[in-house]
């Protein structure tokens, strides 16, 4: 039996997916499982890491039972997963408590104090990252204050994909791109050394967060192409063959970028899912406060393939807001669509595509779970009139998500020599109506791929390079994801949206700084 399959595991904030790619045909098959989130107290967002592992093994077992797929055909396994938050594990890689997610805001008050004390710029100068509550450092500081017994029995702080890889291989390790995304490592010193040598700790961050006694939990990162193998125990749980090569992988935003076929600074990549993710690659040597880093001051940044810096503007304000609107807020029309046997998502989007937009349409601020400026910010519909119904309110949600993406993208564009086209991924790409709205709001061509699992494409390509299936990651991505569709902005609609954007910015800058939490 030929070994011609690559398995990619992608663990997001709410769903874990396993995708098998056939290296000879480029075809793929995906299995997924939802992993519930727990909210044990206001501002706290967690998940049971053991349930995540069980969901992952279930996905792999399901794939291996499908016709034409067999464990013996799997060449290698690659990983990607959400960044930030933290997974605490013992020496065997088992969880010592529930994982804390990146959307968690238990450390928000402490972060505001640190920002007020002027720490944000000092820390960003070394880590490239802004300072926010869902990072490992602030969360770890909070746990040190409130759960010291948990930390006493913890062996390591891991990211999501590194936790799953530890369960698959039995080896506890931290990978470079994930480590560089969390604010606790000194990316600037690494870049100044030409991307050679060990990625060391961000000492001002360790001191600011009071983590000196917890250094033992922070591992020296391994390279993204480092290899391990499926352990005998994990083979029994997943159905994979023991000894199958496992490649370390990349944090999700880097995997998304490279899986979109972008390996330089020629395009902006946009992910429209739970989070609004907007990012661009720059030379690592330019990631300093007196150059591009200081001009953009990105929400997050990390090391990508080729030793480049991936600068990311992000907030929890994207496509999942649409799901909230039709399932929790604007339910009357959804109920009618469901009763008529229509898919509520496609029916609402089709109506929006037919609806004529007006200059006096209401606007929506998608800050349901915070904004870029403040995790405590809250959303709102603005400019309502008695003539508005659910269609206008839902259209405002669709538009508001796109407008907030543009606010992020404008920050990236300000430090670039020219406006760049966009490669779009995430849930929004399933709707031509939404893709066209993105093109009109952003006023640039928007490209989408028929392959939905772009992070998995990169994880599989990286794994394929590790076992000699591809010469490099770029050729692997091209083989697995060769075609893109382009949505061009309509000039008249783009002009209309430009005026709407100016109004949106005026309102958003006021709303996302209101003191909702005291």
- Kindly state whether residue 292 falls inside one of the protein's structural domains: no
Q: Which one-letter DSSP state was computed for residue 173?
A: -
Contact residues for 281 (Cβ-Cβ < 8 A; gap 6+): 257, 262, 263, 264, 265, 304, 308, 309, 310, 311
Same domain, 57 and 175: yes
3-class secondary-structure state, position 152? helix
Q: Number of folded domains in the chain? A: 2
Which domain, by its residues, includes 372? Answer: 320-419+487-511
- Kindly state whether residue 31 falls inside one of the protein's structural domains: yes
Domain boundary among 243, 258, 273: 258
3-class secondary-structure state, position 140? helix
d(CA 354, CA 346): 13
- Kindly state whether residue 502 falls inside one of the protein's structural domains: yes
d(CA 318, CA 406): 11
- Kindly state whether residue 452 falls inside one of the protein's structural domains: no
Contact residues for 119 (Cβ-Cβ < 8 A; gap 6+): 131, 204, 208
**Regions of the chain where pLDDT drops below 50:** none
Same domain, 349 and 222: no
Q: Are strands 156-158 and 380-382 parallel, antiparallel or unpaired?
A: unpaired
Same domain, 53 and 134: yes
Q: Which one-letter DSSP state was computed for residue 476?
A: H
Same domain, 369 and 495: yes
Q: Which one-letter DSSP state was computed for residue 337?
A: H
The pLDDT of residue 1: 62
Burial of 94 (0-12, 13-18, 19+ CB in 10 A): middle
Same domain, 220 and 327: no
Domain boundary among 225, 258, 291: 258
The pLDDT of residue 512: 72
- Kindly state whether residue 78 falls inside one of the protein's structural domains: yes
Domain boundary among 214, 233, 258: 258
d(CA 460, CA 255): 10
CA distances from 134 to 38, 102, 235, 319, 355 (A): 15, 4, 33, 20, 38
Same domain, 147 and 39: yes
Largest CA distance in the chain: 67
The pLDDT of residue 212: 96
Same domain, 331 and 249: no
The pLDDT of residue 516: 67
Q: pLDDT per residue over 439-467, tens digit each?
A: 999 999 999 998 888 999 999 999 999 99
What's the CATH number where 121 sits?
3.30.420.40
Q: Are strands 268-272 and 422-426 parallel, antiparallel or unpaired?
A: parallel
Q: Where are the alpha helices (DSSP H) in 70-147?
A: 108-116, 119-127, 136-146
Tokens of 357: 């937009």
Burial 199-213 (b: 16+ CB within 10 A, else e): bebbeebbebbebee
């Amino acid at each position: 039996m030929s070994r011609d399959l690559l398995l990619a595991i992608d663990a997001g904030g709410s769903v874990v997916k396993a995708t098998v790619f056939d290296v000879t045909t480029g075809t793929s098959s995906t299995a997924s499982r939802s992993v519930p989130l727990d909210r044990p107290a206001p501002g706290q967002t967690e998940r049971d890491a053991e349930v995540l592992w069980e969901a992952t093994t279930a996905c792999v077992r399901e794939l291996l039972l499908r016709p034409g797929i067999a464990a013996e055909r799997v060449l290698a396994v690659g990983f990607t997963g959400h960044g930030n938050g933290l997974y605490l594990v013992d020496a065997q890689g088992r969880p010592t408590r529930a994982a804390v997610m990146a959307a968690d805001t238990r450390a928000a008050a402490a972060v505001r104090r640190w920002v007020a004390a002027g720490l944000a710029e000092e820390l960003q100068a070394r880590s490239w990252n802004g300072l926010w509550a869902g990072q490992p450092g602030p969360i770890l500081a909070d746990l040190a204050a409130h759960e010291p017994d948990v930390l006493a029995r913890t062996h390591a702080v891991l990211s999501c994909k590194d936790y799953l890889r530890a369960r698959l291989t039995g080896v506890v390790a931290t990978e470079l791109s994930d480590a560089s995304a969390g604010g606790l490592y000194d990316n600037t010193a690494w870049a100044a050394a030409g991307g050679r040598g060990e990625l060391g700790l961000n000492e001002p961050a360790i001191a600011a967060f009071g983590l000196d006694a917890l250094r033992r939990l922070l591992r020296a990162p391994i390279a993204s192409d480092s290899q391990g193998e499926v352990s005998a125990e994990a083979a029994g749980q997943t159905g994979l063959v023991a000894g199958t090569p496992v490649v370390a992988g990349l944090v999700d935003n880097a995997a998304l970028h490279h899986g979109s076929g972008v390996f330089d600074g020629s395009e902006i990549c946009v992910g429209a899912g739970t989070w609004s993710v907007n990012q661009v690659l720059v030379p690592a040597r330019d990631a300093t406060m007196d150059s591009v880093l200081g001009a953009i001051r990105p929400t997050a940044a990390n090391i990508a393939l080729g030793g480049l810096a991936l600068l990311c503007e992000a907030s929890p304000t994207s496509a999942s807001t649409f799901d909230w609107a039709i399932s929790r807020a604007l339910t009357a029309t959804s109920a009618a669509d469901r009763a008529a046997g229509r898919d509520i998502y496609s029916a609402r989007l089709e109506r929006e595509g037919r609806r004529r937009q007006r200059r006096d349409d209401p606007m929506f601020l998608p800050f349901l779970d915070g904004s870029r400026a403040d995790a405590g910010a809250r959303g709102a519909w603005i400019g309502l009139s008695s003539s508005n119904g659910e269609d206008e309110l839902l259209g405002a949600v669709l538009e508001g998500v796109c407008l907030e993406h543009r606010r992020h993208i404008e920050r990236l564009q300000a430090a670039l020599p020219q406006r760049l086209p966009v490669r779009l991924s995430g849930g929004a790409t399933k709707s031509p109506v939404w893709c066209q709205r993105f093109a009109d709001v952003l006023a640039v061509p928007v490209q989408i791929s028929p392959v939905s699992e772009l992070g998995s494409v990169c994880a599989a390509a990286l794994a394929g390079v590790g076992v000699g299936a591809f010469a490099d990651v770029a050729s692997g991505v091209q083989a697995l994801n060769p075609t893109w569709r382009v949505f061009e902005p309509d000039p008249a609609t783009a002009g209309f949206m430009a005026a709407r954007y100016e109004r949106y910015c005026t309102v958003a800058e006021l709303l996302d700084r209101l003191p909702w939490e005291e």
